[in-house]
Amino acid sequence: MTGANAGIGFACAVQLCKQGARVLLGCRDEGRGREAQRILQDRYGESSAQLVSLDLSDQQSVRRCAEMVESSPLHGLVNNAGIVRAGGQNSAGEFDLRFATNHLGHFALTGLLLGPLTRTGGRVVTVSSMTYRTIEPNWGLSRTGGIEFKGGYALSKLANLVFALELQRRAERAELNLKSVACHPGAVDTNMIANYVPRLYRIARPLIAWLLNSPSGGALPVLRAITDPDVQGGEFFAPRGLMEWAGGATPVQVRGLHKKMNSAKALWDLSEQATGVNVLSEYQAFI
Ligand code: NDP
């Protein structure tokens, strides 16, 4: 579980540990990660959770993380971590920090872990967002400075969705023992919202908390995508309530699917070039 120390990721980790899963907590901040690990271990036992250092904006860190966990029996990978702002240190080089963290980091991590995931017939769940509807798949804008605030986040979340569906398509063609599933959590009261609209959040926190999903509510589509035995590869889960805002998890249609998937090869090629990770390279002939 990437981004397991806060928000939706932590809420998912709680439920998974409660059901007896052993969860590897991929976290960038050691203090926050240790605290999450401590809470889970106190509640569900020493073996329930283990912290793994992971900074998705840093490809070296992604590789170290994959090396640490590749020998574990991995049944699922949840690409959950995300940021909404592009400011701060950028170890991602020429790419917008949101695209580098939310998409490129997960692209590389998934590629590096395909071996262990296919050995168990595992599942990759990638967390997108409703904002995918608001942007065209113009991957050229993912370079640093290529896009303004809201568009940069939306583009990275569209990349999450297109990646998840394209991974499923390629895995099927290569007859891999793997399912790739996408989901979005609706609108959820987490640090991400506080970072997205900081001033409004300070003024209207109680109203926001009332209007939005709680982290445990937002976790439902993710939990269904990763645990439901009847899930099909390529499905997209979201809250079933009005406008997919909140509620229990249900499969939904991707809006503008055809156009989005026409851009999948360009995204894949760009991501392989940017990360140096050739996902499914040994199966190229089948793709
Ligand atoms: P939070 O900000 O609460 O949690 C994000 C998590 O990602 C934190 O654990 C954070 O770590 C981690 N993270 C951020 N950057 C990195 C990095 N470089 N490397 C590793 N981990 C990192 O947000 P949410 O729980 O709301 O978001 C979870 C997912 O849900 C995201 O993909 C988001 O885009 C998506 N989503 C959220 C919505 C919402 O309304 N909240 C709506 C739609 C989608 P740290 O604590 O150290 O910052």
CB-based burial label for 85 (10 Å; 0-12, 13-18, 19+): middle
Residue 201: closest CA among 84, 88, 96:
84
Q: What residues pair up with 124 in beta bridges, in sequence order?
A: 77, 180
pLDDT of amino acid 266: 97
pLDDT of amino acid 279: 83
Q: 82 C-alpha to center of ligand 1: Å?
A: 4
8 Å CB contact between 90 and 83: no
8 Å CB contact between 41 and 48: yes
Binding-site residues, ligand 1, Cβ < 6 A = 2-3, 5-9, 28-29, 32, 54-57, 80-83, 101, 127, 129, 157, 184-185, 187-188, 190-193
Q: How far apart are the first and last CA of the chain?
A: 28
DSSP letter for each residue of 171-187:
HHHTT-S-EEEEE---S
Q: Is 44 among the catalytic positions? A: no
Structure tokens at 116: 């262990």
Structure tokens at 211: 């209007």
Distance separating alpha carbons of residues 146 and 38, to the nearest angstrom: 40
Tell me if the pTM is above 0.95.
yes
59-78 residue pLDDT tens: 999 999 999 999 999 999 99
83-110 residue pLDDT tens: 998 875 555 578 999 999 999 999 999 9
Nearest protein Cα to ligand 1, atom 12: 3
Distance separating alpha carbons of residues 6 and 250, to the nearest angstrom: 24
DSSP letter for each residue of 38-100:
HHHHHHH-GGGEEEEE--TT-HHHHHHHHHHHTTS---EEEE----S---S--TTTTB-HHII
Catalytic residue among 132, 153, 196, 283: 153
pLDDT of amino acid 286: 61
DSSP letter for each residue of 186-238:
-SB-SHHHHHHSHHHHHHHHHHHHHHSBPHHHHHHHHHHHHH-TTPPTT-EEE
- Which segments in the chain show pLDDT lower than 50? none
SS3 127: strand
Nearest protein Cα to ligand 1, atom 9: 3
**Which residue carries 């995918």 as its tokens?**
132
